Homo-oligomer: A and B are copies of this chain.
Amino acid sequence: MIKIAVIGYGYWGPNIVRNFSFVEDADVVCVCDFDSKRLETVNKLYPSIRTTTDFHEVLTSPDIDAVAIVTPVSTHYELAKRALQNGKHVFVEKPFTATGGEAEDLIALAERKNLTIMVDHTFLFTGAVKKIKEVIQNNLLGNLYFFDSTRVNLGLFQHDVNVLWDLLPHDLSIMDYVIEEKPMAILATGKAHLNGYEDTVYVTVFFSNNMIAHFNINWLSPVKIRNILISGDQKMLIWNDLDPDEKIKIYDRGVDVENRESIEELLINYRSGDVWIPKVEPLEALTVEANYFVDCVMNNKTPINDGYAGLRIVKVLEASTQSIKQMGKMITI
């Protein structure tokens, strides 16, 4: 039985507490938040869970095996470091840390102590991402041309980070999981229209091979869009996460090129076949992930969303931030 403490009971914390409560081999024993009003809610909903405003106590308490850190990103490093130093496994909200250096520190510390780090890349545990991973692993799409994501909606404006640190970790963690090749260089442009934090951002990611990736994210669109298009030389895939029924469509469409010797005589043929909409399992992603964390801790497994995965995402976020500040300068990773 793994005893878990949750630090942070704001927007996402309640979901973390509820989902870990349902894990058979885990017990949520303590919830910690600065705001005592929020803790009253915890007391009402979960009378058996201890609550406290003192995170030192949580991080040092000998009866706690693992800590879930669901606080603003700027606090992740300090909290996770102390938890690891005190021999506790950590489950950290995304993005993992505010800098790549912090992430590397935590990874090294966890390895020395043989502790588990899991970063909450929830999307990896959805039926849709599992299906996309499977499709790409089975090489159904062939060599990839591009990975193109649009993630826009009206708000919610954050008060401490720009839209990049708010929305892009989703896309980056998905891409990191389904695409084997890793980013080589980044270029980002954007604008802050309202509160000094960029609300409209465009990111291009270069790879060492012929693939290119692009992300269109903003908080200023009148309609919500969650669309990812992955184009390959065999098939093409579109994932519309807002479609309740037909999330993933795989198109047997493409371009065949004959006679590559001379560009002038190049013959380009278009192919257009059937479309396949695979059934996507309606998983409760956070439930699956909470069980997976407990399983990894108990059986000493390395999670797919471990500290290294978290680090890779943070590095791209750092590079993107740097690029935006320099008006779109390309940053090598």
Contacts and interface: CB of A to CB of B under 8 A. Distances in A.
A200 B212 contact: yes
Contact of A157 (B233, B255, B327, B329): B255
Given A146-B200, A222-B231, A223-B238, A214 B216 contact: yes
Nearest to A143: B193
Nearest to A232: B220
B202 A221 contact: no
B275 A277 contact: yes
A226 B192 CA distance: 26
A95 interface: no
Contacts of A328: 187, 204, 328, 330
Given A200-B212, A270-B155, A275-B246, A194 B255 contact: yes
Nearest to A328: B187
A1 interface: no
A19 to B, nearest CB: 18
Contact of A279 (B150, B199, B264, B273): B273
Contacts of A212: 189-191, 200
A251 B276 contact: no
A276 B246 CA distance: 11
A333 interface: no
Interface in A279-303: 279
Contacts of A249: 277
The number of times this chain is found in the oligomer is 4
A277 B279 contact: no
Contact of A145 (B145, B200, B246): B200
A236 B263 contact: no
A195 interface: yes
A179 B245 CA distance: 28
B276 A276 contact: yes
Contact of A220 (B231, B245, B276): B231
A37 interface: no
Interface string A169-206: 00000000000000001010111011110011010101
Contacts of A221: 229, 231, 236
B268 A157 contact: yes
B146 A194 contact: no
Contacts of A155: 255, 268, 270
A154 interface: yes
A159 B262 CA distance: 11
A272 B246 CA distance: 12
A122 B251 CA distance: 29
Contacts of A268: 155, 157, 194-195
- What are the 9 closest A-B residue pairs judged by CB atoms, nearest first? A222-B251, A275-B277, A222-B236, A189-B204, A191-B212, A222-B253, A187-B328, A157-B268, A220-B231
